[in-house]
């Protein structure tokens, strides 16, 4: 008996946001994963004669560790980065010899405190980051809530300064160096609203919208509308889209050319503080802090 013919998947119809993005700039390209594997990024650059693949692999292995995965095996790092096990093993051996990685049993590896020296040069040389901490501390002390500063790094936000309130409001512990998706965070929406039209269109084409909660915006046209609203009102409120029970408000930090350089936010427990109260009480404090920080950018 002849086997049944194979079915081929029917391509999905383009969404309204895809059409909108295409109209803003160049013709649309296929959607890409939000974060390509390290191996894919390295492969894309391998044709450059000046590109050092071994260095790129070492950095990818370092980035493979996370707060949830502080200890990892060679096999786990290989799966996470897409880099072959043999190459991961050599990277870990080198990093261990240099004092950046340690292993107690030769099987599970973890970063050592010396790894912090790689980021210290950046954090200690950027005026905005150096000046942000006391300002964030003042805001947090005045309103008794957590306050943070972040910049955009690819399709994510990167925390560069943070002042935490005594009450923990998230299931994960955020700190300097933490990353979150730009599309469903208040600081991310502020930073996206500051992009040029063509940059925003490119983001909307490639981003993969993951439903972290039932409130997360996962339609690209709805996300585009939300970002447009942030542009008009110059602040963003995100209500339980990243995590149930978490509500945040953010404003842009602008340089002397009125370009968005960073974002500052306050996060609260949704059961304690309403959106109206956030806008009334927190927004003036955030705007004052953002203006003070912006003056340091020249």
Tell me the two tokens of residue 203: 């983001």
CA atoms within 13 A on the CB side of 242: 26
CATH 1.10.10.10 domain range(s) in the chain = 52-114
> Distance between CA atoms of 29 and 294, rounded to whole angstroms?
36
Tokens representing 109?
A: 């590896």
The pair of three-digit structure tokens given for residue 96, joined into one six-digit string: 């261990």
- Cβ neighbors of 76 (< 8 A, separation 6 or more) are 69
CB 136 within 8 A of CB 286: no
Q: Which of 128, 194, 134 is nearest to 160 (CA)?
A: 128
Q: H-type helices in the chain, by residue range?
A: 16-24, 38-45, 53-64, 74-81, 85-97, 117-125, 127-143, 186-193, 197-206, 220-233, 275-277, 283-295
Instruction: Assess contact for 253 and 294: CB atoms under 8 A.
Output: yes
- Give the number of residues written for the chain: 298
Question: Please, where in the chain does CATH 3.30.450.40 lie?
Answer: 126-295
What does the pLDDT read at residue 85?
A: 92
- Asked whether 238 and 191 are in contact (CB, 8 A), the reply is no
The domain defined by 52-114 folds into Arc Repressor Mutant, subunit A (1.10.10)
pLDDT of residue 122: 62
- pTM value is 0.65
Which residue, among 227, 235, 226, 243, has the nearest Cα to 291 in the 3D structure?
235
pLDDT of residue 17: 46
Q: Hey, what CATH topology would domain 126-295 get? A: Beta-Lactamase (3.30.450)
Hey, is 110 helix, strand or coil? strand
Per-residue pLDDT of the chain (298 residues; tens, 9 = 90+): 444 444 444 444 445 444 444 433 333 333 333 335 677 777 777 778 888 888 988 888 988 887 667 788 999 999 888 999 999 999 999 999 998 899 878 889 998 888 777 766 665 556 677 778 888 998 998 898 889 999 998 899 999 888 876 555 555 567 777 889 999 999 999 999 999 999 999 999 999 999 999 999 999 999 999 999 999 999 999 999 999 999 999 999 998 888 999 999 999 999 999 999 999 999 999 999 999 888 877 6
């Amino acid at each position: 008996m002849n086997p049944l013919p194979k079915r081929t998947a029917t391509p999905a119809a383009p969404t309204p946001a895809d059409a909108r993005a295409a109209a803003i700039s160049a013709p649309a390209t296929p959607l890409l994963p939000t974060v390509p594997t390290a191996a894919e990024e390295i492969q894309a650059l391998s044709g450059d004669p000046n590109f050092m693949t071994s260095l790129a692999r070492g950095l990818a292995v370092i980035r493979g560790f996370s707060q949830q995965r502080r200890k990892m095996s060679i096999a786990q790092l290989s799966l996470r980065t897409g880099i072959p096990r043999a190459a991961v093993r050599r990277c870990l051996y080198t990093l261990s010899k240099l004092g950046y990685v340690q292993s107690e049993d030769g099987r599970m590896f973890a970063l050592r405190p010396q790894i912090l020296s790689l980021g210290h040069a950046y954090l200690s040389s950027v005026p905005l980051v150096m000046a942000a901490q006391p300002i964030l501390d003042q805001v947090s002390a005045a309103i008794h809530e957590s306050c943070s500063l972040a910049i955009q790094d690819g399709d994510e936000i990167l925390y560069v300064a943070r002042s935490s309130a005594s009450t923990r409001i998230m299931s994960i512990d955020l700190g300097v160096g933490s990353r979150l998706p730009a599309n469903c965070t208040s600081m991310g929406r502020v930073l996206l609203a500051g992009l040029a039209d063509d940059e925003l269109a490119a983001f909307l084409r490639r981003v993969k919208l993951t439903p972290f909660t039932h409130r997360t915006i996962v339609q690209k046209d709805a996300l585009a509308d939300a970002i447009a609203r942030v542009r008009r009102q110059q602040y963003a409120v995100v209500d339980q889209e990243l995590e149930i029970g978490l509500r945040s408000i953010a404003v842009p930090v602008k340089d002397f050319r009125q370009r968005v350089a960073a974002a500052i936010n306050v996060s609260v427990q949704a059961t304690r503080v309403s959106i109206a109260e956030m806008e009334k009480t927190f927004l003036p404090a955030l705007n004052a802090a953002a203006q003070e920080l912006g003056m340091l950018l020249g």
